[in-house]
Structure 1
Amino acid sequence: MKKIILRDVTMENLFDVIKLKTEDKEFVLFEKWVASNVFSLAQAKVQPEWVTKAIYDGVQLIGFTMFGLDTEHDRYELCRIMIDYKYQGKGFGTAAVKEVINEMVRTLPYCTEIFLSVIPNNKAAIHVYTKAGFKKTGEIIKGFVDEDVYCYKV
Structure 2
Amino acid sequence: MALSVEDRLAVAELIALHGHLVDEGQLARMAEVFTENVVYDLSDVGQGQVSGLASLTDAALARGPANPVAHHVTNVVVAERPDGQVQARSKGLAVMADGTCGSVTYDDTVVRGDGGWRISYRKVSARRVPLGGLGREQDQPPVSA
Larger Rg: 2
TM-score by length of 1: 0.30
Greater RCO (Cα-Cα under 8 Å, separation 6 or more): 2
